[in-house]
């Protein structure tokens, strides 16, 4: 009887043990793993952390075109170093080349007409001089029997006629010269339009991106997509976004350091350049789950100094740490 009374408690204890074991086995196994990269750390005792964006020292230059047209030739590729006024691409300009040929022919015609008008003017001047000599000879004869009054009158009319012809020749020469000036101006206009078909570099810089090919259409109006971008990458700048709540802690000339995101061992010293005085909404987002996006930031521009062995690229995000202590460098040193 006593053995039968213990069966139920033993069975209950067994079920309880089975339930505990089943629940324990169904729980996920959590193992501590090392992070793929160590978190960024600052070397300053008092610091302001910011997210920086690598950019050219000239900022990014988005090229535009003075004329709309089809791309005829692209002279550069990504990574090329270009000098100021160096051609980057050329638009198709067949109609302008035809207008240039017509304008040059018109200029040659006008120049030839100037030569003809000047020759006519010299002939009229010689004929006028001859008519004046004949009139003076006739007026010098006192004997009316040697020359009649009618002859004198005729010679005077000849002089007046030759003077009118000379004035007409001079006017024609001036008109021809004006035609030359007009033809030169028209040719200059065509040449300017041809020059506008060539997109040139505005400064010594490096080609950062080329997104246009031969045969594609380029519009003179501004568009959202950049088809060719340049920038001076020697040296590089870092644009740091400082939260407006901590902006008051950042001072001009403060020391700063930038670390490569994902590898904080790669770090470069920064030299203060300037503040962007306009506080703007935050746009440079890192994607962190705890990141605030409903805030405004003060942008501080720094120049990358020192270690050139750290590979940096335009548009790369950096972790920036700014010294907020009392030991502020003079002029960024």
High-pLDDT (> 90) share of the chain, % = 38
Residue 173's CB is within 10 A of a number of other CB atoms, namely: 20
Q: Residue 306 falls within a domain, yes or no?
A: no
pLDDT at 36: 65
Which tens digit of pLDDT belongs to each residue from 44-66? 888 999 999 999 999 999 998 88
Quick check: 78 and 207 in contact, CB under 8 A? yes
- 33 vs 45, which has greater pLDDT? 45
Higher pLDDT, 145 or 258: 258
Shared domain check, 143 and 133: yes
Same domain, 209 and 154: no
Region of 254 on the Ramachandran plot (φ > 0 left; ψ -120 to 50 alpha; else beta)? beta
Query: Does the pLDDT value for residue 326 go beyond 70?
Result: no
Same domain, 207 and 168: no
- Buried b or exposed e, range 108-129, using 16+ CB within 10 angstroms: eebeebbeebbebbeebbebbe
117 and 172 part of one domain? yes
206 and 224, same domain (yes or no): yes
**How much is the pLDDT for 223?**
67
Q: Are 69 and 192 members of one domain?
A: no
- The mean pLDDT of the chain is 83
Return the pLDDT at 332.
40
Whether residue 262 lies inside any domain: the answer is no
Residues 47 and 199: their CA atoms lie apart, in Å, by: 46
Structural domain ending residue among the three candidates 180, 196, 212: 196
Residue 42 falls inside a structural domain: no
Residues 110 and 225 in one domain: no
Tell whether 119 and 185 lie within a shared domain: yes
Of the candidates 33, 36, 187, 169, the one whose C-alpha atom is nearest the C-alpha of residue 104 is: 187
Of 137-141, 235-239, 303-307, 318-322, the one with minimum mean pLDDT is 137-141
The verdict on 98 and 157 lying in the same domain is yes
Report the pLDDT averaged over residues 314-333.
72
Q: Residue 71: which domain range?
A: 61-92+198-229
**Residues 104 and 72 occupy one common structural domain:** no
**pLDDT tens for each residue of 245-304:** 899 999 998 999 999 988 888 889 999 999 998 998 887 776 565 566 678 899 999 999
The H or E element spanning position 159 is helix 149-196
pLDDT at 270: 92
Task: Please give the pLDDT value at position 148.
Answer: 63
Residues 176, 149 share a domain: yes
Question: What are the pLDDT digits (tens) for 184-216?
Answer: 999 999 999 999 999 999 999 999 999 999 999
Please report the pLDDT score of residue 306 as a whole number.
72
Residue with tokens 């505990």: 20
Examine the domain organization and report whether 107 and 173 are in the same domain: yes
């Amino acid at each position: 009887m006593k053995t039968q009374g213990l069966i139920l408690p033993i069975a209950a204890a067994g079920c309880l043990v089975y339930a505990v074991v089943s629940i324990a086995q169904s729980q996920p196994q959590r193992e501590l793993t090392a992070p793929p990269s160590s978190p960024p750390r600052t070397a300053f005792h008092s610091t302001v952390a910011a997210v920086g964006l690598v950019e050219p020292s000239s900022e990014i230059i988005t090229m535009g075109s003075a004329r709309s047209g089809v791309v005829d030739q692209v002279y550069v590729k990504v990574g090329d170093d270009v000098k100021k006024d160096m051609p980057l691409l050329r638009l198709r300009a067949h109609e302008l080349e035809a207008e240039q040929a017509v304008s040059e022919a018109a200029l040659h015609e006008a120049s030839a007409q100037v030569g003809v008008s000047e020759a006519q003017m010299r002939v009229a001047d010689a004929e006028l001089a001859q008519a004046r000599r004949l009139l003076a000879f006739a007026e010098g004869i006192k004997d009316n029997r040697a020359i009649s009054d009618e002859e004198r009158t005729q010679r005077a009319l000849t002089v007046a006629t030759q003077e009118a012809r000379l004035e007409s020749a001079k006017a024609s020469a001036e008109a021809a010269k004006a035609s030359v000036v007009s033809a030169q101006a028209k040719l200059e206009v065509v040449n300017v339009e041809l020059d506008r078909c060539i997109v040139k570099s505005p400064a010594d810089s490096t080609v950062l991106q080329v997104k246009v090919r031969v045969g594609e259409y380029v519009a003179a109006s501004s568009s959202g997509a950049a088809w060719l971008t340049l920038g001076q990458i020697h040296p590089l700048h870092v644009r740091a976004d400082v939260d407006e709540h901590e902006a008051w802690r950042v001072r001009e000339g403060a020391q700063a350091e930038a670390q490569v995101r994902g590898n904080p061992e790669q770090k470069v010293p920064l030299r203060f350049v300037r503040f962007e005085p306009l506080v703007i909404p935050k746009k440079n987002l890192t994607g962190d789950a705890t990141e605030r996006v409903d805030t405004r930031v003060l942008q501080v521009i720094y120049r990358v100094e020192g270690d050139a062995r750290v590979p940096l690229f335009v548009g790369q995000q950096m972790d920036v740490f700014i010294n907020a202590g009392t030991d502020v460098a003079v002029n960024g040193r």
